[in-house]
Amino acid sequence: MSTPRALAMMRRPTAETPGTARSSSMTASPSCAAANCAAAPSTPEASRIPVAASRTGSAVSARPSTSIHTVTARRKVGASCDTMMCQRARVQRAMSSFSVMRTTVRRPSFHSPTPRSPMSAAVWALVVSCVLWGTTGTAASFFPDAVSPLAIGASTMTIGGALLFVASRRAALTVIRDRAVRGWLVAAALGMVAYPLSFYASMDLAGVAIGNVISLGSGPLFAALLEWRVARTRLTGRWMLSAAIAITGMTLLVAGGHGDDSPVDAASIPAGVALGLVAGAGYALFTFASGIVIRAGHSGRGTMGAAFGLAALPLAVVLLVVGAPLLATPSSIGIALYLAVGPMFLAYLFFAVGVRALASSTVTVITLLEPLVATLLAVLVVGERLDPLGWAGLALILSGVTVLSTARQPRSAH
């Protein structure tokens, strides 16, 4: 209502009909109606004139001839309207509370294992990723001799890292733009540059079984050393025990080596073991540095995509230099695509699903499937043979990693 019109209505008192009071009460908000119901006096005879005057304003004083029955009728109409609005407000509040309960309360199901389904899905996702990782050495053994391990590692990380970066490009770009964690992100990328090159070279020299087990078994030990040296955490007695068991197993594995009918040259096993240790150190650097980036507030998928995407850049240069024989035959191209899409891209996506729902100790134990799958495929498919001493060393390495994975978090030295 405009100001001149309001002033004009205030200057000249006009007659008001009973419908005016009714319309004013009908347009009241539910909260106002509830307030009127709460403020209604309990004695009708004592409250008829004042309430009617408050509802009709100056109309009552302008028309003193209005009978008490008319005022009472108006009062009843207003009270009924107020009662109607009160009921409507109560219904609306009840419906809103019911809708909230409907969206938040779930009925228990006695037929579907809902609480266990996320856990089982995470376990199966982790198992699939470990099986895919375990096929890397066997798949790489089908490359022609002209294809070098450097070309295999460079192609795997270049294609797979690019796919992981594209799949998480928004989160990955956010990590890359963060200057506070840029140094640790570069360290994680350097770890992933060293890992595939030394990993495939280790399996080429020491065999699929030994190279895989050394690379994966030494990773947790190097990670604990990084935490002790950089994060100033104490090395517990359990860690020392697991390290002693794993080192003993590596010694037996190198001493026993392969059998006489194995296709692996025994003279190249020590060099393969050394490269396996380099691969384990590179993967430990990636794990340690990416963990710092994640604890800084970034997502695991974004951190992984950023680190792998940065690692793909220098490895693409390596691929351009040594990757020509890899493109010589369609079979070599197919194997390279499988290693990039399967064990690299899809396996890490499944791994991210499992890590989100499982404890770190559970994840470490399940990932022991990878060297087991790799060893079984190396024996059954590639034709490698281990001496009994080598099998004992393999079992000791896996036992040492298991002891380390079940340990508590190391205490800070500060």
Q: What is the pLDDT of residue 252?
A: 84
Query: What is the percent of the chain where pLDDT is above 70?
Result: 66
d(CA 260, CA 273): 19
Compare 405 and 346 and report the one with higher pLDDT.
346
219 burial type by CB count under 10 A (0-12 exposed, 13-18 middle, 19+ buried): buried
- Weakest-pLDDT range from 148-157, 188-197, 285-294, 352-361: 352-361
- With 60 as the cut, is the pLDDT of residue 392 above it? yes
| Mean pLDDT to the nearest integer, 60-64 | 42
Q: What is the pLDDT of residue 151?
A: 95
d(CA 290, CA 303): 7
Tell which residue, 108, 206, 101, 197, has the closest CA to residue 157.
Answer: 197
pLDDT in tens, 213-251: 899 888 888 888 888 888 888 878 888 888 888 888 888
- With 90 as the cut, is the pLDDT of residue 337 above it? yes
pLDDT band at 97 (very low <50, low <70, confident <90, very high): very low
pLDDT band at 14 (very low <50, low <70, confident <90, very high): very low
d(CA 307, CA 285): 12
Compare 255 and 335 and report the one with higher pLDDT.
335
User: Taking the mean position of all CA atoms in its chain, how far away is CA 400?
Assistant: 29
Q: What is the pLDDT of residue 19?
A: 42
pLDDT in tens, 136-147: 999 999 999 899
pLDDT in tens, 372-386: 888 889 889 988 887
Compare 405 and 282 and report the one with higher pLDDT.
282
- The overall average pLDDT reported for the chain is 74
Q: How many CB atoms lie within 10 A of CB 287?
A: 16
Compare 1 and 203 and report the one with higher pLDDT.
203
Q: What is the pLDDT of residue 45?
A: 41
pLDDT band at 23 (very low <50, low <70, confident <90, very high): very low
Query: What is the percent of the chain where pLDDT is above 90?
Result: 34
pLDDT in tens, 177-195: 999 999 999 999 999 999 9
Q: How many CB atoms lie within 10 A of CB 210?
A: 34
d(CA 35, CA 58): 23
Residue 341 and residue 138 in contact, taking contact as beta carbons nearer than 8 Å: no
